[in-house]
Structure 1
Amino acid sequence: MTVKGAFDALTADQRAALLKDAAQHDVAFAAFTAAGSLTYDIATRPFFTFRYEGTAEQDSDIVKVTAAAETAAAQWMTARGYAYKNLTSQTTDMSLVPLGPRGRREIA
């Protein structure tokens, strides 16, 4: 799942703190994890993306898992005092993603 949004009304100190930690949140380190992985490039634009890994046993669980990811992202921002806006989320069912040549070889 990805949860995207925009930082809102950052103070100069908040912006400086984000810039200081930007290397740790570069897209090169993006990963789908249970705890969530945050990426942003505050020097060029105010947007952020959280990447979460989750499991849904049934289709009806997808809504719950996605809502939990949005809640986790909002809590991370709020706990650090960052205002945000325009949270959106997208969930991909990996069982529906076609396998590439390597994946087909591993199954065979």
Structure 2
Amino acid sequence: MDINQVTVTGRIMQNVTTSSDKDGVITKLGTIGIYKGKDKQTGSPLYANIPFVAYNTATKYIEPNTKMMLVGRLNSYTKTDGSQYGKLVVQLQVNSAYQIATSQDVAVSDDDLPF
């Protein structure tokens, strides 16, 4: 068991980019919006937008505007932004990805019911 393992569920945002390097490694970079609750003043939903990176087989099912469960580990690095200390970037390094079916995705007919 890996101590640094996290599982998140949310919706993949529209900003997913896919690339491949000279060795054929497929990479997807994007953001997953994780529901945090409602704003107490306005009642509108609040989301934490977490950046992620996925490689090879973990990229297969990741598509924009899809509800997903991502499993991986937290990774951080310092990005040079011209300031004295740089900018700390924390992202989810995805090991596996699973699509989550919603009630809109599932069609049930009378034939499916046992009564």
TM range (shorter): under 0.3
Higher helix share: 1
Using CA pairs under 8 Å that are at least 6 residues apart, name the structure with larger relative contact order, 1 or 2.
1
Normalising by structure 1, we get a TM-score of 0.25
Normalising by structure 2, we get a TM-score of 0.24
Higher strand share: 2
